[in-house]
Amino acid sequence: MSSEGNSMPRFEGKTALITGAASGIGAACARHLCAQGVSRLILVDKDERALAALCADCETLRHHGDVADPDLWGEVAAGIDRLDCAILNAGRADSAPIVDLDLADWRNVLSTNLDGMFLSLRCAMRAMRAAGGSIVLTASVSGIKAEPGTAAYGASKAGVIQLAKVAAREGAARAIRVNAIAPGGVDTPIWDQVPMFDDFVKQHGSRAAAIAAMGEVATPLGRFARSEEIAEQIAFLLSDAAATITGAVLVSDGGYSL
Ligand code: NAD
Complex ipTM, two decimals?
A: 0.99
Question: Span 70-98, mean pLDDT?
Answer: 95
CA dihedral 185, 186, 188, 189 (to 10 degrees): -10
Instruction: Please identify, by atom number, the ligand 1 atom nearest to the C-alpha of residue 193.
Output: 2
Instruction: Please identify, by atom number, the ligand 1 atom nearest to the C-alpha of residue 112.
Output: 18
State whether the beta carbon of 36 lies less than 6 angstroms from ligand 1: no
CB 15 within 8 A of CB 83: yes
Instruction: Please identify, by atom number, the ligand 1 atom nearest to the C-alpha of residue 189.
Output: 3
- The alpha carbon of 247 and the centre of ligand 1 are apart by a number of angstroms equal to 22
Task: Indicate whether 8 pLDDT > 80.
Answer: no
* Integer Cα distance of 133 and 144 in angstroms: 26
pLDDT for 1 equals 47
* Integer Cα distance of 220 and 253 in angstroms: 9
Our answer to whether residue 256 is catalytic in this structure is no
Task: Indicate whether 187 pLDDT > 60.
Answer: yes
Q: Which of 153, 191, 197, 256 is catalytic?
A: 153
* Of 232, 64, 51, 71, nearest in space to 136 by CA: 232
Q: Tell which one of 188, 192, 253, 256 to mutate to probe ligand 1, the residue whose CB is within 8 A of the most ligand atoms.
A: 188
Question: Span 215-238, mean pLDDT?
Answer: 97
Q: pLDDT band for position 3 (50/70/90)?
A: very low
Q: Checking DSSP bridges between strand 85-88 and strand 15-19, what pairing results, if any? A: parallel
- So where are the chain's domains? 15-184+231-250, 187-224
* Of 64, 66, 69, nearest in space to 42 by CA: 64
State whether the beta carbon of 90 lies less than 6 angstroms from ligand 1: yes
pLDDT for 95 equals 75
Neighbours of 187 (CB within 10 A): 19
pLDDT tens figures, 249-258: 999 999 999 9
Helices 116-127, 70-78: crossing angle, 10 deg rounding: 20
* Integer Cα distance of 52 and 39 in angstroms: 19
Task: Indicate whether 122 pLDDT > 80.
Answer: yes
CB 198 within 8 A of CB 100: no
For residue 190, give the amino acid letter.
Answer: I
CA dihedral 81, 86, 87, 91 (to 10 degrees): 60
CB 210 within 8 A of CB 196: no
Count of all residues that appear for the chain in the document: 258
- What rounded mean pLDDT belongs to the chain? 94
State whether the beta carbon of 253 lies less than 6 angstroms from ligand 1: no
Domain range 15-184+231-250, its CATH number among 3.30.360.10, 3.90.420.10, 3.40.50.720, 3.30.1490.20: 3.40.50.720
- DSSP letter at 112? I
pLDDT for 6 equals 55
State whether the beta carbon of 189 lies less than 6 angstroms from ligand 1: yes
CB 194 within 8 A of CB 93: yes
Kindly give the residue spans of alpha helices, DSSP state H, lying in the chain.
24-35, 48-53, 70-78, 103-110, 116-127, 151-171, 195-204, 207-218, 227-238
Question: Span 10-29, mean pLDDT?
Answer: 96
Q: Tell which one of 18, 45, 88, 230 to mutate to probe ligand 1, the residue whose CB is within 8 A of the most ligand atoms.
A: 45
Neighbours of 250 (CB within 10 A): 18
Task: Output the pTM of the full model.
Answer: 0.96
Neighbours of 68 (CB within 10 A): 21
* Integer Cα distance of 233 and 252 in angstroms: 9
